[in-house]
Amino acid sequence: MSVNSNDIIEENEAVTNFREYLRIPSVQPNINYDKCVEFLRRQAGSLNLPVRVLQMVPNKPIVLITWAGTQPSLPSLLLNSHMDVVPVYPEKWKYDPFGAEKDANGNIYGRGAQDMKCVGIQYIECARRLMRDGRKLRRTVHMLFVPDEEIGGADGMGEFVKSEEFRSLNVGCALDEGMASPGEEFVLFNGERSIWHLHVHCPGTPGHGSLLLPDTAGEKLNTVINKFMARRQQEKNKLIANPNLTIGDVTTINLTMLKGGVQNNVVPPELIVGFDCRLSVDTDHEEFEKWAKSVCQEAGKECWIEFQRKFKRIPITPVDSSNKWWGVLKNILVDQLGLKLKPEIFPGGTDSRYLRDIGIPAFGFSPMNHTPVLLHDHNEYLNEKVFLRGIDIYCQLIPALANL
């Protein structure tokens, strides 16, 4: 059974705000962000904090809520989250994916429950609690809500970091999204793989499907697929051989698209295969590109690669004694709160890459353990108690970082 949305008299204010945010269907593509902006303006007003709405690209608003520190000249702390969510298949959901229904176990269902409207609200509710307690922070804290992360973030964080408005924030360190963990441990991400989306074009001799024509697109395509799948298997073998590795530690290659042909009895003039490649942080980009081009040469003349995305290598954020921010984070989460913390390389892509690329330390951390990983999945949910505990954790972590 679900808890009726009207039965919220005893519900925690933070949970009520979380559920309201989830009910805003900010779904890719072609999002109208107006309702998100209006909601966040109200939240800023309830905190009596200034809010700015910036637009680097038309119809792509960036919402910035600022809590000024007592020493505003110090580099600031940035708390980043994104407003957009991925599409849904409503027929696959137990409840309305934008109904924010809460079941008898306290599980709150909704697209964005884990990715990542939860974290945006946790930032706000942490600030609310600290301000109610009369806490003062040395460093200014900026709560940032950006658009379009789910489609690469180019028009959101990607453009924002290039702006004078961003430079004026004087960011010293950033927190961004992480991922749920099914077990006791919490996962923290200090780096990301490089996303390469590529299409391999295989032109060939066209003709009648009853013939054995030379140099066909199908033969070239077969070679390309076999070579890419063989390298994929090499990476799978690394994971199998070393249980200490995670998916973020290896390069992933997945065949995601096939295009070409008009009907079964016509040999096409071209076939195209698309691959999603995520290059591990220790992969030599130049070597990988040379290898991919050599596959084309081996497949046959005139095969070529079209890059849809080709992200450069971005340095990881150090998690050692060289990074003072990591020292504070570890002290709070591990030494004081006793959490089991596991640094990893994020398997997907987040807006943190734009921050790390300009030298800002960024940590991907969503305080959700004992929670199945359901980002982009059907029936995405987050338990009420896990959500509230996350606020407790942030109420220890954020002041420590802001008072460094």
Query: Does the fold of domain 194-310 match that of domain 2-178+350-402?
Result: no
Q: Name the stretches of the chain with pLDDT < 70.
A: 1-9
- Condensed to tens digits (0 to 9), the pLDDT of residues 102-138 reads 999 999 999 999 999 999 999 999 999 999 999 999 9
pLDDT value at residue 1: 47
CA distance 77 to 209: 63
pLDDT value at residue 6: 47
pTM: 0.92
Structure tokens at 57: 């690209």
pLDDT value at residue 40: 98
Report the topology of domain 2-178+350-402.
Aminopeptidase (3.40.630)
Domain ranges of the chain: 2-178+350-402, 194-310
Catalytic residues: 84, 149
- The total of other beta-carbon atoms located within 10 Å of residue 241's CB is 8
Give the contacts of 132 (CB within 8 A, at least 6 positions apart): none
CA distance 347 to 194: 10
pLDDT value at residue 9: 57
What one-character DSSP code corresponds to residue 115? T
pLDDT value at residue 341: 97
CATH architecture of 194-310: 2-Layer Sandwich (3.30)
Q: How far is CA 170 from the centre of its chain?
A: 23
Judged on CB neighbours under 10 Å (0-12, 13-18, 19+), 200 is buried
Structure tokens at 389: 């505990």
Length of the chain: 404
